[in-house]
Structure formats: structure tokens, C-alpha cells
Amino acid sequence: MSAPAAAAPGGGTPPRGIPHDGGLPDGDGIAAAFRLRPAALAVAVAVTVAVLGLSVAVGPFPIPLTQILLAVADRLSLPGVHTTLTPQEQVILFQWRLPRAVLGGLVGAALALSGATYQGVFRNPLADPYLLGVAAGAGLGATIVIGGHLQAGWGPLDTVAAAAFVGALAGVLLAAALGRGAGSSPAALLLAGVAVASFLTAVQTYLVQRDSDGFREVYTWILGQLVTSGWGDVALLAPYVAVCGAVILALRRQLDVLRVGDTEAASLGLDPGRIRLVLIVAASLLAAAAVAVSGLISFVGIVVPHVVRLLVGSSNRVVLPLSALGGAAFLMLADLGARTLASPAEVPIGVITAFVGAPFFAFVLWTGRRAIA
């Protein structure tokens, strides 16, 4: 059964770049709405790099940006460059702040890119990476390990992260199986994800209540964290971001074509079902890997893609790459706030993103028809 053509929320006008009759845009529309402008990409990269520098420089022991650049150049063994940082400052820089900032960027990019992908696949502006049971499955997996006192580590991998990853994928697979049985439509898959998430959350709540001693640790994990010492978590997450991100970005043109309907896409030689399946699998792997190393960090997959659409339009060719960069910058800023707002204590990063995301979510619901599809 072919899916209906995309429509704006509330029955309003179609997204920018898609004409009112549902057909493909003309040449001017393609040029205006479907092209990733080099200037926009350059600005996004510059902002992300600037936020990375700020995140590394600011902390209880401020490190000047020039000294950071010299230290990095010295670590890369560039000729004629020598750092003036003390050994203690170098440990702070290379074993704590830089890995944490890079990890925050990778997690933010993964969550924002997977959120933008889900929104494109399901034609739902409020879809996010946790929609198909990713968060609930990851939370249940982590709760089982923590509540059962099964924590252990093998190099950079520990049982909590492994259980969260397996649980996230199990939640997605269960939702996919239920959705397929209900007709394989995007709406059926969405409803199956809601049902699976509710069930897994109920199981998690039951397990937490049975083991009150582990409640605090489970609660801390659920609120999200980017605490890291060294580059182990970065090494775990980076391959997923690279491979799954490349797959999603390679299919962003086809995702734009799917907006005009499955029949039109099939007439152009595309397989809508296969494209959606590949995108959902890639986005789910991205979200599961991010959740495994950072816990549950909400709203990144909703806020960032919506802001990008408000700024540059709704074409997935533009939204997907800029969402990845925007997500990286957003989460690094959120982590900077988590580290500094209540210093020397640390606010859970999930609290920071919720403070930003919840009002934005309410704004999207309130505006209704004017929300970007």
C-alpha cells in the first residue's frame, strides 16, 4: 500500500520546496530548497568548531585557546611547536576535557541525525530517536545489569553500555515485528513503538522498585551523563557515527523523493520500503550506540532538526547534514552548562537538554499549523 503524500501538520500548506499539488518542484524550487549551500555548511562547521574550543577551554582550570592549539600541535609532533602546559594541565586537556567534548559532539550528532531521519521517514515532526523503543529498551538493559550487580568492564567496554545497546536494539526489533504484523505502514510502526516503550518502561519500573539500593545509580544513568576518562567511549561510538551517518546522508536525496508519495517514488525506480528500512535501521543503530555510552539524553533529536528547518528549509538534503553538526554543537554547549552551572557539582546533562527541549516541544505543539513539517 502506498503511503500518502507528505502534508504539513494540521492540514496546512506543504513544506517549503514542495508545491501545493504534491508534485515534484520545478527547477527554481529545487535550486532554492534542495541545495546545501556552501555558506550554510561553512557556518555550521565554524560554529561547531568554536563550541568545541569553548567546551575544552572553560572549566575549573581555564586553559587559553592558544595554549590548547599549541598543545594539540605538539601532540601531533608538528615541527617547531612546543606546548607550555604543565604535565597536569596536559592530563586535564587530553584525558578529560577533549575526550568529553568530542564524545558530546558525537552523541549530539548521532541523536540529532537519527531524529531528523525518523522525522523524514515517518513524516512526523515530533518523531525522535527514542520513538521506537530505543530509550525504553536501553533503560531496561542498563537496569538489569545495575540492579543485578553485574557491572564489569573489558577494556573500553562495560556491561552497562553493552546491555543498554542490546536493549535498545531489542526494543526496535520488537516494535518492527509488531508494526509489520499490523500492516507495515509508518503509522503502524509508530504505534507499535509507543506500545513497546510503555511495556519496557513498566518492566524497568518494576525492577527498580524491587532493588531500591540500585535506584540512585539507575536514575543517574537515565538522566544522561558524559563522564569519561580517556578515549574509550569515543572509540566505541565513532564507528557507528561514521558508518551509519554515511548511509543516512547517502540516502538523503531518496528521502526527499519519498515526500511526494510512494507511487511517484516507485515510478522513478526507487523501492520506498527498502529505503525506509535501511534508514530506520541506520538511525536506530545510531541512537542505540549513543544511548549506550551516554544514557538517556532527551530532546536533542527534536530540537535541533526543527531549528535547522526553521533556518534553512525542510529539504532532507540540507536538514540531515546540518542537523548532525547542530546536534554536536548543541550537546557540547549543554555539557558545558552541566559542568559549570553548579560547579563544583555537576548537573545531569539530561536535565539541561530537558530545560531547553521541553519549552521548545510545547512551542511546536502550540504553533500547530505553523510548525515546520
Question: How confident is the model over 231-265, as pLDDT tens digits?
Answer: 988 998 999 999 999 999 999 999 998 888 778 88
Q: Give the model's pLDDT for residue 33.
A: 53
Among 289, 373, 317, which residue's Cα sits nearest to residue 119?
A: 373
Helix (H) or strand (E) holding 157: strand 157-158
Long-range pairs for 178-186 at CB < 8 Å and ≥24 separation?
Answer: 183/1, 184/273, 185/1, 185/3, 186/3, 186/121, 186/122, 186/123, 186/124, 186/276
| Residue 72 C-alpha from the chain's centroid | 28
Report the C-alpha gap between 70 and 154 in whole angstroms: 34
Contacts of 146 (CB under 8 A, 6+ apart): 160, 214, 217, 218, 221
The predicted-structure confidence for 218-235, as pLDDT tens digits, reads as follows: 888 888 888 777 898 899
pLDDT score, position 178:
86
Mean pLDDT (the chain) is 83
Say if domain 9-370 classifies as CATH 3.40.640.10.
no
Supply the pLDDT for residue 363. 78
Residue from 324, 346, 357, 360 nearest 105 by CA? 324
Cell representation of residue 286: 545510531
**Length of the chain counted residue by residue:** 373
Where in the chain are the domains?
9-370
Contact 327, 300 (CB under 8 A): yes
Residue 93's pLDDT is 92
In which residue ranges of the chain is pLDDT below 70? 1-34, 152-157, 181-185, 212-214, 368-373
Prediction pTM value: 0.84
Please tell me the predicted confidence (pLDDT) of residue 227.
Answer: 76
Query: How far is 232 from 247, CA to CA, in rounded Å?
Result: 24
pLDDT for 16: 44
Please report the pLDDT score of residue 31 as a whole number: 47
Please tell me the predicted confidence (pLDDT) of residue 262.
Answer: 77
